[in-house]
Structure 1
Amino acid sequence: MGVTVAVGEQTAYLARVGHAGVLLLPMITGIGEQIREWADELAGEGITALVWDPFKGRSTDNSTREELSGLLRKMDDDTALAEQTELLDYLTGELGCSKVGVIGWCLGGRFAFLLGARDQRLASVVAFHPTVPSKLAPHHTYDAIAEAAGITAPVLVSYPSADTAVPNADFEALQTILQARQTGATFTQYFPGAAHGFSDKSRHDKVVNADAFRLAWPQALALMRSTVS
């Protein structure tokens, strides 16, 4: 089981086991039960997991998704990226991780691309159903599809065909940009009929979502193990 730690003025969830590390960037749930379970699972795989807190103590443990969506609409890209960079510094500094990757879901998947383009310390970038529509939201400063060209690490992106947040054409544009990179392998997962956020167990009442995650997660774990261990 992990613990809550202070990193500068932030708090984060930490499941610590060794010198391989991954930074987790949550979906709209914040550091809710689902994300903590994934962090603990990574620790069970021998990977230290540190989770960014996008909503400063608010999560689906104590807030509605509507309330969290309201907080998301106020989020500033540069502030979030500075917090995530501070957490990477903590992983590679105080925690002594020699290799670190990043994995994000939904909004966190978008930030995984933005952070991966900016920080060459990352050994891998994994993004589950990243919220990267080509039409930028009012609170978005950066185009994550375009910025993905700057990632030099291996990337795994997991996309559901029934994603109402990101049109298929935008995913195809992202895939083209990733595969045009001269450095960094690209691993693409495509799940017909699965929905945005399919990895969230609250959506596994639909078999197509549960089946997609059952296939997707082991491959993501394998990439993280091979790149940070």
Structure 2
Amino acid sequence: MQFTRRQFIAVTTLAAGFALAVHPISAQVITTDAKGLVAGEVKIPASDGEIPAYRAMPATGSNFPVVLVVQEIFGVHEHLQDICRRFAKMGYLAIAPELYARQGDVSKLTDIQEIITKVVSKVPDAQVMSDLDATVAWAAKSSKGNADKLGITGFCWGGRVVWLYAAHNPNLKAGVAWYGRLVSESSPLTPQHPIDIADELKAPVLGLYGGSDNGIPNETVEKMRQALKAAESPSEIVLYPDTPHGFFADYRPSYRKEEAEDGWKRLQAWFKQHGVA
């Protein structure tokens, strides 16, 4: 699909702290320091300008496995940046590009529906795939990354993107999708959804979903499982019983410590199993 890019980048720098829409921040929020890391904002060259991204990697060494970290609807705010630092502490080069950079700054919006209507609904999948490709190229060329060991993980909006990117990039080794929507209506900007490309995945995806997710019905998770089985895909889906949407988001009331920690262990094992680590 062809898409028309704007002639400017609307967001030129990352948000500081947490997006306004997620306040107040939970007391159980996890904070990872940058000791022993190189961590902070970088600029990713795209065909129509530079998009901001958050990059974290060990301060010493090189040839690091690369993990793309794909944002929730709230953009690359403090939670996504912290996840990058967690990966860096394990020896990865983790990078989270601001994929709404052309459409607007969601960090200053306080209403979730407004975020979706004004910004998220206007982001083309083709733009997202292109920007992720540009991020991988930058990580390999400019930031000591080993693109032969490439993984991707994403949350909510970014969880859906993980499935799409696994069908898009033949060089991807593995993906982990956290509660990304699997089934939806097609539109010019979002022509396909994970259920539509289950037989086109070029890398195995581990899907982590909540059994009490109001936005992702269990029957759609089961449909995806059946589609993956029919495609003889090595991808897997874990459905945590009685678990809500956003269970990894430690800064929100939806956080479920046990399921989040289990999912994080599964992510690490999945990446190691499939050649990302």
Q: Is the structural similarity TM-score above 0.5?
A: yes
Deviation digits for residues 144-177 of structure 1 (CA, Å, limit 9, x no counterpart): 2111321132211001111122221111111122
Does residue 1:156 correspond to 2:203, yes or no?
no
Letter in 1 for 2:242: G
Distance 2:138 2:197 in 1: 24
Could you say which residue in structure 1 is the equivalent of 2:78?
33
Partner of 1:222: 269
Offset, 1:136 = 4.2
Q: How far apart in 2 are the matches of 1:223 and 1:47?
A: 14
Looking at structure 1, the residues matched to 175 and 184 of structure 2 have their Cα atoms a distance apart, in angstroms, of: 20
Flag the structure with higher helix content.
1
Instruction: State which of 84, 90, 110 in structure 2 corresponds to 1:64.
Output: 110
> How far apart in 1 are the matches of 2:238 and 2:193?
21
Q: Is the 8 A contact 1:29 1:65 kept in 2?
A: no
Equivalent of residue 215 in structure 2, options 156, 165, 182: 165
Aligned residues: 225
* Counterpart among 184, 187, 190 of residue 134 in structure 1: 184
TM-score (norm 2): 0.74
Alignment match of 1:93 (pick from 141, 155, 158): 141
User: Does structure 2 conserve the Cα–Cα contact (< 8 Å) formed by 1:91 and 1:100?
Assistant: no
State the partner residue of 2:129. 81
Larger radius of gyration: 2
Report the counterpart of residue 188 of structure 1 in structure 2. 237
Residues 168 and 202, structure 2, Cα contact 8 Å, conserved in 1: no
Does the C-alpha gap of structure 1 residues 188 and 89 become closer, same or farther in structure 2, counting only changes over 3 Å?
same
Report the secondary structure of 1:64's partner residue: coil
Cα RMSD of the aligned pairs, angstroms, is 2.1
Evaluate the alpha carbon distance shift between residue 138 and residue 153 of structure 1 in structure 2; reply closer, same or farther with a 3 A threshold.
closer
Q: Secondary structure at the match of 1:228?
A: coil
Gaps of 5+ in 1: none
When residues 52 and 122 of structure 1 are mapped into structure 2, their CA distance, relative to the original with a 3 A threshold, is same
- In 2, Cα distance between the equivalents of 1:110 and 1:199? 15
The residue aligned with 1:13 is: 54
User: After the TM superposition, which of the residue ranges 40-49 and 145-154 deviates more from structure 2?
Assistant: 145-154
Separation of aligned partners in 2, 1:59 and 1:42: 24
Name stretches of at least 5 consecutive residues in structure 2 with no aligned partner: 1-33
SS at match of 1:122: coil
> Retained in 1: the 8 A contact 2:198–2:231?
no
* Offset of residue 114 of structure 1: 0.8
Maintained 8 Å contact 1:133/1:167: no
